[in-house]
């Protein structure tokens, strides 16, 4: 048996408490099998007797349940654990759920980890909710970036199970531009000699590749306005006892690079592959209009105004194909990384939209907020 690689970034001490749930043998849409799929799940709140207060949150690229827990969930917020039972499911391959470096099964460990699709995540989540919690319908599915891709897939694949949907900064069908951008992110990692074909002994062996990966994110994940206005100064000091950032190079060196250098290379590659191929129209012969016509959920499509790869124009085209939907453009000078809470005004804007969406009646019933 392969020995799993220890990485302190993927621990409860860093990411916060979670539970592991086994789904057993799980067949993937590309034909491979995960012999025992384990999903890392964090829940907040209590499921009510009729199980009508459940909210599902899938995670984004490189992220875990921790980001949602620390930024978007809390008493008095739209995502209020005193009202709702909130389930945050870590996507397959993200470093907490079954992932290349955590598997002790030789058939799927490290470079042998199979190709996973967004649709695999959603099928696994549906099985989890049904088998573990007895949940057959969700008051809301909400996710950002790759979490938005999963939100779209949920609304299309299981329309009868999703009353409300809020895809934030993510499209239903990935674009060629996004695919090419993700290629560069992945090439930065695999071109590092320390990557060793995916068979490195520690993520530290791939530090240079992860640094280049971070550099690309700095260009595309953060907007020109973020750098040109020197908004990065507002994010320092990093922690108590550390000096403020003094230049954009300093911010890049002490914030962006170290963040990604803590992560597992194979986990990032697994997520990148599925991100590139996110497409709800796979089940309708490539017809996006037909796929989106399946959605019955009250839907708020929420792109970010300065996002450079999930563009407002792309999201608006998709929203126009959905009945009972609205386009709600969010505002963040940080661009796509606005999801990470650089601005309180952005978090408040998301909160206000989700509060309104949860209060909206669906299927003839009053809202649940």
Contact 1, 105 (CB under 8 A): yes
Q: Does the N-terminal peptide bond of residue 195 adopt cis geometry, omega within 30 degrees of 0?
A: no
Decide if 307 is catalytic.
Answer: yes
Contact 229, 274 (CB under 8 A): no
Please choose, from the candidates 38, 86, 30, 98, the residue with its C-alpha nearest in 3D space to the C-alpha of residue 58: 86
Which is the catalytic residue, given 65, 101, 306, 336?
Answer: 336
Contact 122, 147 (CB under 8 A): no
Please choose, from the candidates 45, 23, 240, 205, the residue with its C-alpha nearest in 3D space to the C-alpha of residue 122: 23
> Per-residue b/e over 174-203, b at no fewer than 16 CB within 10 Å?
beeebeebbeebbebbeebebbeebebeeb
Which is the catalytic residue, given 279, 307, 314, 332?
Answer: 307
Which is the catalytic residue, given 62, 99, 145, 223?
Answer: 145
Query: Phi/psi of residue 327, each to 5°?
Result: -95, 120
Decide if 336 is catalytic.
Answer: yes
The pair of three-digit structure tokens given for residue 253, joined into one six-digit string: 């060196």
Q: Which residues pair with 21 in a beta bridge?
A: 39
**Could you give the 3-state DSSP secondary structure of residue 89?**
strand
* Alpha carbon distances (Å) from 115 to 28, 99, 112, 118, 159: 8, 11, 9, 10, 26
Query: Phi/psi of residue 84, each to 5°?
Result: -120, 155
Just list the catalytic residues. Answer: 145, 307, 336
């Amino acid at each position: 048996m392969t020995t799993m690689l220890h990485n302190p970034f993927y621990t409860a001490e860093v990411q916060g408490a979670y539970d592991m749930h086994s789904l057993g043998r799980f067949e993937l849409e590309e034909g491979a099998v995960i012999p025992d799929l384990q999903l890392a799940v964090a829940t907040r709140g209590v499921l009510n007797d009729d199980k009508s207060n459940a909210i599902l949150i899938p995670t984004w690229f490189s992220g875990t349940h921790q980001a949602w827990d620390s930024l978007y969930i809390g008493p008095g917020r739209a995502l209020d654990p005193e009202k709702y039972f909130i389930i945050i499911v870590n996507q397959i391959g993200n470093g907490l759920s079954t992932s290349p470096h955590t598997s002790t099964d030789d058939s799927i460990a490290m470079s042998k980890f199979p190709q996973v699709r967004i649709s695999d995540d959603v099928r696994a989540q549906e099985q989890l909710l049904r088998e573990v919690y007895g949940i057959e319908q969700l008051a809301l599915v909400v996710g950002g970036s790759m979490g938005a891709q999963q939100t779209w897939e949920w609304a299309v694949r299981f329309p009868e199970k999703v009353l409300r949907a809020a895809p934030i900064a993510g499209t239903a069908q990935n674009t060629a531009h996004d695919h090419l951008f993700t290629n560069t992110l992945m090439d930065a990692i695999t071109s590092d000699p320390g990557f060793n074909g995916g068979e490195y002994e520690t993520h530290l062996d791939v530090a240079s590749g992860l640094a280049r990966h971070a550099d690309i994110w700095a260009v595309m994940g953060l907007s020109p306005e973020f750098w040109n206005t020197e908004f990065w100064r507002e994010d320092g000091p990093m922690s108590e006892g550390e000096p403020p950032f003094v230049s954009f190079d300093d911010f890049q060196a002490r914030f962006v690079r170290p963040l990604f250098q803590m992560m597992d290379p194979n986990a990032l590659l697994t997520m990148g592959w599925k991100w590139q191929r996110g497409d709800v129209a796979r089940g309708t012969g490539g017809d996006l209009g037909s796929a989106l016509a399946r959605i019955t959920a009250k839907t708020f499509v929420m792109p970010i105004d300065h996002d450079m790869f999930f563009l407002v124009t792309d999201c608006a085209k998709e929203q126009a194909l959905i009945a009972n939907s609205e386009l709600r453009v969010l505002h963040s000078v940080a661009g796509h990384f606005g999801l990470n809470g650089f601005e309180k005004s952005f978090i408040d804007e998301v909160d206000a939209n989700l509060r309104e969406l949860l209060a909206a009646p669906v299927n003839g019933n009053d809202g649940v907020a």
